[in-house]
Structures are given as C-alpha cells and as structure tokens.
Amino acid sequence: MMRLFVGIPLPADLRERLGELCAGLAHARWMTTENMHVTLRFIGDVDRASGDDVHAALASLEAPTFALRLAGIGCFESRRRVRTIWAGIEKSPSLNHLAEKVESAIVRAGFEPEGRKFKGHVTLARLRNVPLARIGDYLESNSAFAADPFNVESFALFRSHLGKDGPVYELLADYPLAVAQPSNAGSSSMSANT
C-alpha cells in the first residue's frame, strides 16, 4: 500500500523563507522545509493498481501555468482546538481551477469525491495542547508575512512515508503545466520512480 497525495512543490528560496516562520511556539511540531508544499488533493492509502490509475488520470490533465503568492498566517481548528498553523495563499482562480481539475481526475480514477472544500495553504506546524494565548501571539506577530510570487509550472504526485520523526514525502511523478502541450503531461513514470 502507498499513501498518496497531489501537491505543488515550492521553490527552495520560498521554503527557506517559510522555514523562518517555524519557530517561536513551544510544543509545535514544525514541518521540515523539504516537506513544504501546497496540497491539491489528499488521496490516502492505495494499492499499486490504484496508484497507476491515479498517475494515468493526472497525466492526462491539461492546465496552464500561473503565478501564485503566499501571504498571511492562519490556523485550522477542530473540536475547539487549533490543530494546524499554515501560510495562506492570495486569492487565485488559477489555483482553484487546477484543484478542481485534479479532483475530477482523482474521481475518474475511481475514488470518492473530497468532502471538504479546497482551501489552498502551506502547512507550517501541527499542534497538540498548545495554549490558545500562545497561538494568538504567534499568529499576530507573523500576520504581516508575504512572499514574492512564484510561477507554478507543474504539480506532482507524492508518496508519504510515515515515521516516528514525522512524515517524509517522496515525489513519484511530476506533471508539467502548459497551454496546449498535452503530449508533455506526465512525462515521469510513477512505476519507474517507486
């Protein structure tokens, strides 16, 4: 079984900048810069045949490149507790369009539709039992975060390896974005990279 998700890799300089935000909050489990990405669709545990179906569906996807800009810091709550701190993304119809196309491809590959509405973000930390006052202070002190735009020229299929020190993400296949260049889509073979 493989634990898969679809995401947008981030440029090294942007990951480094985000890494500077990963401090100042005791008991937070900070993401490593190598693992930072924009998740387009979490898939979950699949067997090899289903993974190949996902790869084929994503390889047929066509969408144009676009610019994306990270700005702002926020959090997700669950059961009245803050569970995740993230860097936000400025409004981007192109990102939403790509996420919709990825969702359609995953459903075509035989998976149930995602029940949650897409909310583009980059996870910075996962939290457990961190006092709300400290979280509020962190969010307030980093609220002015904004990065330079970067060009999204591809998206990728990742495999997540879970371990005691947190997950490690492995890029399985990269899918270039371009207008009217479908023959280049999915140039990597998932089977060759696993």
pLDDT band at 130; cut points 50, 70, 90: confident
pLDDT tens, residue by residue, 46-64: 999 999 999 999 999 999 9
At residue 191, does pLDDT exceed 70? no
Strand ranges inside 19-167, DSSP E? 29-30, 37-46, 66-68, 70-78, 81-89, 121-126, 150-152, 154-161
Outline where 30-131 has alpha helix (H): 48-59, 93-108
pLDDT bucket at 162, cuts 50 / 70 / 90: confident
* Predicted local distance difference test score (pLDDT) of residue 165: 75
Is residue 99 pLDDT above 70, yes or no?
A: yes
Domains of the chain: 2-193 (3.90.1140.10)
Average pLDDT, the chain: 90
User: Residue 105 in contact with residue 5, Cβ under 8 Å?
Assistant: no
At residue 179, the pLDDT reads 58
**What local confidence, expressed as pLDDT, does residue 56 receive?**
97
Q: Is the pLDDT of residue 192 over 60?
A: no
pLDDT of residue 173: 97
User: Is 151 in contact with 65 (CB distance < 8 Å)?
Assistant: yes
pLDDT value of residue 146: 97
Q: Residue 183: pLDDT band by 50, 70, 90 thresholds?
A: very low
Q: How confident is the model at residue 77, as a pLDDT?
A: 84
Whether the Cβ atoms of residue 173 and residue 43 lie closer than 8 Å to each other: no
Q: Model confidence at 190, in pLDDT bands (50, 70, 90)?
A: low
DSSP conformational letter for 96 = H
